[in-house]
């Protein structure tokens, strides 16, 4: 059978959330029979495998792949899922998230009926105590952009996420676009390289088609996800992203905007963390080294972050630490940290 869309679902110990995720796809108005759902289990140790088998026995359009060893990130399962897909169009979903019922149909119609390589919608963040709709400066109902001509487009919420978009498989295959398989930000590596191989992107700023649940797994908080090791891995992954982007011609402006976007969020994440003073100073020094390597600045208009950036670049690390303690209690810092953890 020829499916309209292939949807990749990586799974690891997702028994508590899988029902909601898969059922949101079964309810799609495009018709679940038109979706090829590829579930790649990353060697789960809970009851995820039994739950996946239960669904695959009931629905012929569910393809299952069980890995013998856990890869540590969603990068490898996503790459494997794409390799086993048969549709011309690819979408992604996380094991604890949902699509609105009309999302797949809208994505499919928009990418089929418009001369574009990618369609992007907005996201509803489901936080522990509230729901928040992602925001972007464009108020048009539809906007088309070319990433090299409009590099500031990187600043829309969840620009590096894979799950609020629909991709063309031929672009993925032709350019050998893959997720990183050895660290965090594996999805941004895929998405940023895809951006650089598109001519036109269609953005739907008034449509919120994806529900992204933040920190449902084990109830982890922002501060728990802001450890020194977590942030250090983010630095490494960002370095790999920039090296990839620099391989493309005419990508200088896009690269600069990616770096600036990263600078805003990483300083917010460090400030929010409960790391000891010495650990925070080490992270500030890592930030300093990466900044000297590439050169970036704070895009956000908040002067507090700009002052923090200035102090770090002038090696005033003790003062940077004191300011970070103050920033920890500002709401905009928390919002920016949410973004870098979940992209």
Euclidean distance between CA atoms 317 and 312, whole angstroms: 6
Angle, alpha carbons 176-93-232 (nearest 5°)? 70
Contacts of 280 (CB under 8 A, 6+ apart): 270, 273, 321, 324
Question: Any idea what DSSP says for residue 34?
Answer: G
Q: What is the pLDDT of residue 222?
A: 43
Q: What is the pTM of this model?
A: 0.89
Q: In this predicted model, what pLDDT tens digit does every residue of 101-146 receive, in sequence order?
A: 999 999 999 999 998 999 999 999 887 777 888 766 655 556 788 8
pLDDT of 201 above 80: yes
> What digits encode the pLDDT tens for the residues 268-292?
888 878 889 999 999 999 999 988 9
The pLDDT value given to residue 165: 97
Q: Model confidence over 211-260: pLDDT tens digits?
A: 998 764 443 444 445 678 878 888 888 889 999 999 998 898 999 888 88
pLDDT at 305 over 70: yes
Confirm if 196 and 111 have CB atoms less than 8 A apart.
no
Alpha-helix runs per DSSP H in the chain = 18-26, 48-58, 75-83, 103-113, 169-174, 186-195, 228-245, 252-272, 277-294, 303-313, 317-327, 331-342
> Which helix (H) or strand (E) element contains residue 251?
none
41-88, pLDDT tens digit by residue?
999 999 999 999 999 999 999 999 999 999 988 999 999 999 999 999
């Amino acid at each position: 059978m020829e499916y309209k869309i292939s949807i990749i679902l990586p799974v690891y110990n997702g028994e508590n959330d899988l029902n909601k995720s898969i059922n949101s796809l079964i309810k799609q108005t495009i018709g679940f029979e038109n979706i090829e759902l590829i579930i790649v289990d990353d060697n789960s140790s809970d009851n995820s495998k039994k739950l996946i088998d239960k669904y695959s026995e009931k629905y012929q359009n569910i393809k299952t792949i069980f890995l013998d060893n856990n890869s540590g990130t969603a990068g490898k399962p996503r790459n494997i899922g794409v390799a086993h897909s048969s549709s011309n169009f690819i979408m992604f979903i996380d094991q604890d998230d949902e699509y609105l019922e009309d999302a797949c149909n809208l994505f499919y119609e928009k990418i089929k009926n418009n001369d574009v390589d990618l369609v992007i919608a907005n996201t509803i963040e489901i936080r522990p105590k509230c729901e928040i709709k992602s925001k972007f400066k464009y108020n048009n109902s539809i906007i088309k952009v070319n990433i090299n001509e409009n590099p500031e487009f990187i600043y829309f919420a969840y620009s590096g996420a894979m799950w609020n978009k629909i991709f063309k498989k031929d672009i993925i295959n032709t350019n050998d676009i893959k997720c990183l398989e050895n660290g965090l930000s594996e999805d941004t590596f895929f998405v940023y390289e895809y951006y650089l191989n598109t001519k036109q992107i269609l953005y739907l700023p008034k449509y919120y088609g994806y529900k992204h649940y933040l920190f449902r797994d084990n109830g982890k908080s922002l501060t728990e996800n802001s450890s020194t090791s977590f942030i250090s891995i983010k630095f490494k992954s960002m370095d790999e992203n920039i090296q990839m982007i620099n391989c493309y011609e005419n990508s200088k402006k896009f690269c600069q905007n990616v770096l600036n976007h990263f600078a805003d969020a990483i300083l917010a994440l460090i400030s929010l963390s409960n790391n000891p003073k010495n650990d925070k100073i080490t992270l500030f020094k890592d930030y300093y080294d990466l900044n000297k390597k590439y050169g970036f600045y704070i895009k956000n208009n908040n002067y507090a972050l700009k002052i923090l950036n200035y102090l770090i670049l002038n090696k005033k690390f003790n003062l940077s630490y004191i300011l970070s303690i103050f920033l920890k209690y500002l709401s905009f810092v928390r919002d920016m940290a949410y973004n870098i953890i979940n992209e």
